[in-house]
Amino acid sequence: MKHLLSAGDLSLDEVMSLLDLAEQMHDVQSRSIKKLPALRGRTIINMFFEDSTRTRTSFELAGKWLSADTINISAKGSSVSKGESMKDTMRTLDAMGVDAFVIRHAGSGTVHQAAGWVRASVINAGDGQHEHPTQALLDAYTMRRHFRDALGAEPGDRPFAGRTVLITGDLLHSRVVRSNVLLLRTLGARTIICAPPTLMPSGAASWPVEVTNDFDAALPEADIVMMLRVQRERMTSGYFPSEREYIAGWGLTATRMARMKDSAAICHPGPMNRGLEISSEAADAANSLILDQVSAGVAVRMAALYQILGGEGDVA
Ligand code: CP
């Protein structure tokens, strides 16, 4: 694997191999000395042109724990702020001999374009409203662990077969839903997507999913209830009449949680709007996997960097 640009580029074998490798990386994460020599001598540049807490930090930790040299670059503080194009900036850094770029950018498709400009590997850390493949991988990792540890299911070759994942929220502006839909198709899950009509992507009817606006009807079907953030910063007009009406229709409230299966779990990629798409009761519930997702983020990104940069040595 040279680049990681889209969740849809990964075969089932590649996904399972990444998730299995992430299990080993997760063991490293729980050690007191979290260091493997696997990527010694490799250099990774994290270029974040949009804000991030989870993705940027976990990629940096992942690189450091694999002994790579990691450098963080943002628009402010680089020559991009003087008017240099992203292409020239990347080609400049590429000429210095770096091995990989991890890129987050507000422009949908920008990261794919960037992969054509440089010799180094490129990893998509979220591009506009397009894709966020490592988020989908860490979500899959977290869900697979839940199916195995909480429900006692053997992982096997198709751990998602017969499972239903319900993704609800501001789908129109979400790159997470797009990557999850692609990955869940590969994994063989049944996926239901749910949003107010104004926040449903126009092409959703052609996606490999079931589409609904009725959260209450879909909730009892789900093994995983994945809530997505209302992305106010991407909204140029009013997409729903009021927050109260959004919560009434699509918020995961304490009352609504009672409609979930006893064995179902709650996910949210973060950052959360507590009290809007998800209540504190749901975010902090015993069946919430939200912090497990954060933890999985480091292990999955370690696995991705290891695979892409041809990591060496035993990870056990
Ligand atoms: N889930 C996610 O991408 O979070 P950050 O924006 O904090 O990286």
Per-residue confidence band for 157, with pLDDT thresholds at 50, 70 and 90:
low
Tell me the longest C-alpha to C-alpha distance in the chain. 57
What pLDDT was estimated at residue 315? 77
What pLDDT was estimated at residue 264? 97
Output the CA–CA distances (angstroms, integers) from residue 262 to 139, 143, 218, in the order listed.
20, 16, 15
Show the tokens assigned to 216.
């209450």
Strand partners of residue 124: 103
- Using CB distances shorter than 6 Å, the residues near ligand 1 are 52-55, 126, 135, 269-271
Q: Which atom of ligand 1 is nearest to the CA of 50?
A: 6
Question: How do residues 209-236 score in pLDDT, each as one tens digit?
Answer: 999 999 999 999 999 999 999 998 777 7
Instruction: Tell me the residue type at 134.
Output: T
What's the whole-number mean pLDDT along residues 2-26? 96
Nearest residue CA, atom 5 of ligand 1? 52
Q: Probe ligand 1: pick from 50, 55, 167, 300, max atoms within 8 Å of CB?
A: 55
How close is the Cα of 53 to the center of ligand 1, in Å? Answer: 6
Q: Which of 234, 236, 272 is nearest to 252 (CA)?
A: 272
What pLDDT was estimated at residue 281? 98
Q: Which of 194, 261, 262 is nearest to 228 (CA)?
A: 194
Three-class SS state of 216: helix
Q: In the chain, pLDDT over 70 holds for what percent of residues? A: 98
Q: DSSP state, 150?
A: I
Instruction: For residue 271, say if its preceding peptide bond is cis, omega within 30 degrees of 0.
Output: yes
Q: Residue 257 region, left (φ>0) first, then alpha (ψ -120 to 50), else beta? A: alpha
Q: DSSP state, 200?
A: S
What pLDDT was estimated at residue 40? 96
d(CA 269, CA 138): 9
Q: Which atom of ligand 1 is nearest to the CA of 126?
A: 3
Q: Tell how strand 164-168 and strand 121-127 pair up.
A: unpaired
How close is the Cα of 52 to the center of ligand 1, in Å? Answer: 5
How close is the Cα of 234 to the center of ligand 1, in Å? Answer: 15
Q: DSSP state, 157?
A: S
Show the tokens assigned to 307.
């695979």
Give me the DSSP letters along 120-149: SEEEEEEETTTB-HHHHHHHHHHHHHIIII
What pLDDT was estimated at residue 76? 81
Residue 155 has pLDDT above 70, yes or no: no
Q: DSSP state, 236?
A: S
Residue 156 has pLDDT above 80, yes or no: no
- What element of type H or E holds 21? helix 12-29
What pLDDT was estimated at residue 77? 79
The whole-model pTM stands at: 0.96
Output the CA–CA distances (angstroms, integers) from residue 254 to 258, 264, 285, in the order listed.
7, 14, 10
d(CA 220, CA 177): 20
How close is the Cα of 109 to the center of ligand 1, in Å? Answer: 18
Q: Average model confidence (pLDDT) for the chain?
A: 94
How close is the Cα of 313 to the center of ligand 1, in Å? Answer: 30
Residue 8 has pLDDT above 90, yes or no: yes
All domains of the chain in start order, with CATH: 7-132+297-308 (3.40.50.1370), 133-294 (3.40.50.1370)
Residue 183 has pLDDT above 90, yes or no: yes
What pLDDT was estimated at residue 41? 96
d(CA 277, CA 262): 21
d(CA 265, CA 146): 8
What pLDDT was estimated at residue 130? 97
Residue 312 has pLDDT above 80, yes or no: no
- What element of type H or E holds 237? none
How close is the Cα of 55 to the center of ligand 1, in Å? Answer: 5
Strand partners of residue 260: none
What pLDDT was estimated at residue 311? 76
More confident position, 109 or 149: 109
Q: Probe ligand 1: pick from 46, 48, 53, max atoms within 8 Å of CB?
A: 53
Residue 298 has pLDDT above 90, yes or no: yes
